[in-house]
Amino acid sequence: MASLDPGPAPIRRLTRVEYNNTVYQLFGDNSQPANAFPPDEEAGGFDNQADVLVVSPLLAENYLSAAENLAATHTPTLMQQLPNCQGGGVDEAACAVDAEAFVRNFGKLAFRRPLTEDEVQTYVNLFAKGTALDQAPYSPSMGVQLVVAALLQSTNFLYRVEFGMADPSGGEVVELSSYEIASRLSYLLWNTMPDAVLFAAADADLLRDPVEIEAQARRMLDTPRAREAVRNFHRQWLHLDEIEPVILASGKDSDIYPEFYDGLPYLWRSETEAFIDHLVFEEDANVEALFTAPYTMMNAELAKFYGIDGPAGVEFTRVELDPSKYAGFMTQPGLMALFAKPDRSSPIHRGKFVRETILCQVPPPPPDNVPEPPAVDESQTTREQFAEHAENPVCAGCHALMDPIGFGFEHFDGLGRYRATEWGLPVDAAGELKGTDVDGAFNGAVELAHLLASSDQVKDCVASQWFRFGYGRFETEEDACTVDEIHAAFAASNYDIKELIVALTLTDAFRYRHAVREDSP
């Protein structure tokens, strides 16, 4: 135990997605109240990073309003759990017994752990005060409403509070409790609170056993909720959640792209999400297939955009594509259109996306005196116009890392459609990878995709991105052993995506934390 080093374990506030999902599990309420909250701050591309999830005064007001509204809406239903508190002539002593049971039962769900006796007494006293708030001489419903509103504003609801077991080993590291592990599992794999099975396992104190943790993780990955959590990761990692707002805000030049209409970005995002969902959960695919699969998911409307024969309905189904033109998610129109300009493709943005998001490499920042990009010139291809970057010393340093990658996507126009020519001129999609473990020349996005699929750096980047999403923080030096363990498990599974997710739950960083001292900040 003394050799364990689980790394940091910052307290994590519920994100808007997690808040909405938790409210749904608590009440069956699908009103999504957190949509009215200020957007969650992002760090490293993810909205669940503990260090930036602060509570502003505005968010605190939103929490108050949401808690009061939820309590008022659902108290009539919750009152069914207090049979001795209903009707006229209520026996106050019997009602108080029901109220204590309600505090224990509902409080356990809200806090994701049993309440301490002091906490129980606090909320029982609050119930008693609430019964005198209404015009009636004794109003149990107001007591329940006050308790629920207070529970939903507690830090124990809004945050995933973790102290670990009461008996530190060696004074430095403590094992997380079964209830804390249950919450870590549920928010990693489902973006919501534990279900009854996890609570039962925590009640029996089974979740301190890695074998049971793994069994629960595999059970949870086989449920529909896991699909949404995996979708949430990919939306953020691959910028899929930007496709609609960014493209609709900037638009596409109607003279150059008259086929564009506002419904296309939704179809593009849905395509990539359905493709990844199919690969991970239907094909049990490894990460290489994300880059190289010669098919996609589409419906009739999207097939019309592609200009191919496809399914007849609105449902997204698998459609084989020309493997000489298409490979995996990177040649799908959503990302190609997102990383493009309103009037043309953008080798810069496409290359930057690969360098930062797929390789986890951050190019140096641009200089202050960045020249304006050239205007569209129908006598030149986009590649020819941007050749200046290689010649201009102001631009060359950064663009040497991005443009040679981005040129590989030049067969895809600003809408992400495959093209052989631009303005009647032949497209040159030759490119080059530098500064990677698969350096070399390639011709076109398909060859690039296969190079990236074979890269250990890319696979390590995928694992690192899952670490950041799953643990709500960036890696530190203390995490070296944990990161190595995750990467080794990923490699041993032939880079199976679901096995990578399971591996996240089996590390020391997942099961332990440094002891919280009274003098800790």
Residues 6+ apart with CB under 8 A from 195: 25, 186
What pLDDT does residue 368 have?
Answer: 60
Judged against a pLDDT cut of 90, whether residue 500 lies above it is answered with yes
Whether the per-residue pLDDT at 493 is higher than 70: the answer is yes
> By the 8 A CB rule, do 506 and 229 touch?
no
φ, ψ at 457 (rounded to 5°): -65, -40
| Residue among 343, 267, 249, 278 nearest 305 (CA) | 267
Q: Which two tokens stand for residue 263?
A: 């419904």
Q: Which residues of 2-22 are buried (b: 16+ CB within 10 A; e: fewer)?
A: eebbbbbbeebbbbbbbbbbb
User: Residue 518 has what pLDDT?
Assistant: 59
Average pLDDT, the chain: 93
Mean pLDDT of 265-294: 97
Residue 396 scores a pLDDT above 60: no
Within 304-400, strands assigned E span 317-320, 340-341, 344-345
Beta-carbon contacts of residue 156 (< 8 Å; ≥ 6 apart): 110, 111, 113
pLDDT at 390: 61
Distance of CA 327 to the CA centre of its chain: 24
Element holding 98 (H helix, E strand): helix 92-111
Q: Give whole-number Cα distances, 378 to 343, 386, 417, in Å.
A: 11, 13, 18
The encoded tokens of residue 488 equal 């080794």
Residue 245: CB atoms within 10 Å: 10
Residue 485 is encoded by which pair of tokens? 């363990």
- How would you classify the pairing of strands 344-345 and 340-341? antiparallel
CB count, 10 Å around CB of 62?
18
Percent of the chain with pLDDT over 90: 87
Q: What are 44-55's pLDDT values in tens digits? A: 999 999 999 999
Top mean pLDDT of 5-14, 17-26, 136-145, 390-399 is at 17-26
The pLDDT confidence band at residue 142, using thresholds 50, 70 and 90, is very high
pLDDT at 172 over 90: no
The reported pLDDT for the residue numbered 374 is: 73
Name the pLDDT band for 2 (thresholds 50, 70, 90).
very low
pLDDT in tens, 354-363: 999 999 998 8
pLDDT band at 521 (very low <50, low <70, confident <90, very high): very low
pLDDT the model gives residue 393: 56
Q: Where are the alpha helices (DSSP H) in 178-281?
A: 178-189, 196-203, 210-221, 224-237, 243-250, 264-277
- pLDDT at position 167: 73
Maximum distance among all Cα pairs of the chain, rounded to whole angstroms? 89
Give this prediction's pTM: 0.93
Question: What's the token pair of residue 29?
Answer: 């309420």
Q: In this structure, what token pair is assigned to residue 383?
A: 């590649």
Q: SS3 for 318? A: strand
- The mean per-residue pLDDT over the stretch 63-70 comes to 98
Instruction: Give the per-residue pLDDT at 391.
Output: 64
Residue with tokens 């109220």: 99
Tokens of 35: 């949509």
Mean pLDDT of 338-350: 96
Query: What is the sign, positive or negative, of the torsion defined by CA atoms of 6, 228, 321, 408?
Result: negative
Q: pLDDT over 70 for what percent of the chain? A: 94
With CA atoms as reference, report the closest residue to 412 among 319, 349, 318, 320: 349
Mean pLDDT of 370-398: 73
Query: Which pLDDT score, from 0 to 100, does residue 367 have?
Result: 62
Instruction: Give the pLDDT band of residue 1 (cuts 50, 70, 90).
Output: very low
Q: Is the pLDDT of residue 290 over 60?
A: yes
Count CA within 13 A, CB hemisphere, residue 428: 13
Nearest to 178 by CA among 157, 162, 158: 162
- Partnered with residue 418 across adjacent β-strands are 412
Structure confidence at residue 137 (pLDDT)? 85
